[in-house]
Structure 1
Amino acid sequence: MSRPDVREFPALAAQREALAASPSELVGLIEALLLAEGAPLSRARLQHMLGEAIPASALEQALAALVQRYADHPYIDCLPRMMAGEETWSLVANAAVAPYLARAQAPRTARYSRAVLETLALIAWRQPITRGEIEAVRGVAVNPQIIRQLMDRGWIRSVGVRETPGRPELLATTDEFLRDFNLPDLSALPTLDAFGTQGELVV
């Protein structure tokens, strides 16, 4: 379902002008946008959503105020974070919430073998990479179930094909991989040996 065209709402321009004149209301709107979107939003994305009536300086001040608002919150964090080379903002529950969630949810963990970790490590450090290239490094055939398991977990994805005979599929990691391993970007990866040889991993 497509989102309504903002031109359908004549009052929106006036509302944006009011927001520009009311810093506290702008902070509240950005807070609501972060909650509604449910995913990190970049400065450019927020500016697009707010419109040109909101100066970039007002957006910057509102973001700083929002971060300050949550600085002492015991259960919610609002901190800028680099994702795919862009600074983003989101509202996320922090670790203090975990004990309460654990009471309501059954444990949802999965155990990943060393073979899965080695495959994931090679994809992360040498992406984009083909299955054949993974097999050449590991010295053994890659079980298709390993690739499927990593894709189902949301950690890897297909990013095209290599223009060589057979046109093998190219694999790379996802933003979900960065989030799950608490990495701001790929430059923060540990060494390949440290990641791929740690035995089993429970996530």
Structure 2
Amino acid sequence: MGRWEPDTPGRLAKAALDLYRERGYEQTTVAEIAGRAGLTERTFFRHYADKREVLFAGSALLQEAFVAAVTGAPASAGPMRAVAAGLDAAAKLFTGRREFARERHAVITANSDLLERELIKLATLSAAVLAALRDRGVPEPAATVTAEAGVAVFKAGFERWVAAEESRDLPELIRDTLDTLGAVVADGS
């Protein structure tokens, strides 16, 4: 092993993503990821439970930022405005990470097990946003509908953002997607 270098989790994530793109997710081993990053398998397992979790390590941070913004929205903000604050906070986490996000998205959509894990991540995010809305006193079914709509807006905006031809930033696309939802609901059709 070479001399110590900072950002071990980031190095492992980059090595994993590079190998997943080159060889495929299924064909890549933890040993290969660690070796590519110049680290040991033991070091890998200090940071990630398995090779799948390299792609989902940011889920907790995303959820924390989203929920904190919903919780911290002004008391006068309605449910959708509170969720919009959460969407803004979540989108800001991706600043400067578009290429990594594009590559990660391509790997995930090419593998059904990873796609299933991504959907679980989104369902967990929705449940956390729902809990935050309920804590704000939002009644049912408004709390559930708003939480699910907010996560759908995030997912749709994110998928637009990682598209090869897209150049706008994620916060702008999230706001645009939220406006689209508002227009569809206002239209009533």
TM (norm. structure 2) is 0.29
Quick check: which has more Rg, 1 or 2?
1
From the two aligned structures, give the one with the greater strand fraction. 1
From the two aligned structures, give the one with the greater helix fraction. 2
TM (norm. structure 1) is 0.28
